[in-house]
Structure 1
């Protein structure tokens, strides 16, 4: 008898964070997060801006051969133009795999120019990438069953 598995969906936006609503920075882009939890062993995370594209895909998984999860870039839209963004997706998949102890696919689709220009004005002095990571890990802490 096989156990049936379900797919759980979870999505939210960076701008829904209360501390960002109170921020005076109106230029903060709307970054969306979509999570598909396939089972207790696999997770897919899409992070993107207004373009709603899937331009790259990275994966990380723990192996018995290394202390940290091994990460790999699976799909690259344009390796020369998006090299910084591609490595961010891979790095994030490794961090998530380490934290969640499971295989994690990350599609990170935020334009490089947004990451370079946008700085948080909430007083923390965080870059947009740091805000994205902070919001993602806060969501994991608040809703662990969805990850």
Structure 2
């Protein structure tokens, strides 16, 4: 039986705890879309929507890889989300900035894997397309 374990503990008459294990189905939904940003570059987006977070992979058909990952999440102690670079060079900040923006917009932790070398103009086009998809299909994020 596949599933995530959730343990419910109950006290019996003695000091021993009895653990009941309940299996719950994992909830990860996958959504893909792509956009021809330039004549030579088609950007692919893959969204993994989880119970309380989302992972968004951004890459290309020409060079599919997973060499970058950043996380942003809201903090009860600050108005700005907390961000962390999990994988990749710390000098590459598109994923950090995008995770920060999307965490505020989606109101949940967001992982971003940004795997395309690009300049500011291209980055703006990639981000714009993602925001259009969020507006048109908010249920997949």
Range of TM-score over shorter length: 0.7 to 0.9
Matched, 1:91 2:97: yes
Give the SS at the match of 1:106.
strand
- Residue deviations 1:59-110, cap 9 Å, x none? 000011110211110111xx3xx72xx2110100000100000010000000
Structure number, greater radius of gyration: 2
In structure 1, stretches of 5+ residues that fail to align are 117-125
- In 2, Cα distance between the equivalents of 1:146 and 1:48? 18
Q: Secondary structure at the match of 2:63?
A: coil
How does 1:47-86 map onto structure 2 within 5 Å?
A: 47-49=58-60, 50-76=62-88, 79=89, 83=91, 86=92
Cα distance in 2 between the residues matched to 1:14 and 1:66: 35
Q: CA deviation at 1:132?
A: 0.6
Instruction: Output the CA distance in 1 between the equivalents of 2:53 and 2:39.
Output: 36
The reply to whether residue 8 of structure 1 matches residue 29 of structure 2 is yes
CA shift in 2, pair 1:65/1:3, >3 Å: same
**Following TM superposition, by how much is the alpha carbon of 1:4 offset from its aligned partner in structure 2, in angstroms?**
3.9
How many residues end up aligned between the 2 structures? 119
The 4+ residue runs of structure 1 with deviation greater than 6 A are: none
1:87 & 1:131 partners in 2: Cα distance? 16
* Partners of 1:4 and 1:63 in 2: CA distance: 28
| Structure with a larger share of its residues in helix | 1
Superposition CA RMSD, Å: 1.9
Q: Deviations for 1:9-68, whole angstroms, at most 9, x for unmatched residues?
A: 1111112xxxx6xxxx523x11110000011x1100000122110111100000111102
Gaps (5+ residues) in structure 2? 1-21
- Larger RCO, structures 1/2 (Cα 8 Å, 6+ apart): 1
Task: Say which of 115, 128, 136 aligns to 2:130.
Answer: 136
Match of 2:47 in 1: 35
Q: Tell me which of 56, 61, 70 is aligned to 1:45.
A: 56
Cα distance in structure 2, aligned partners of 1:129 and 1:139: 16
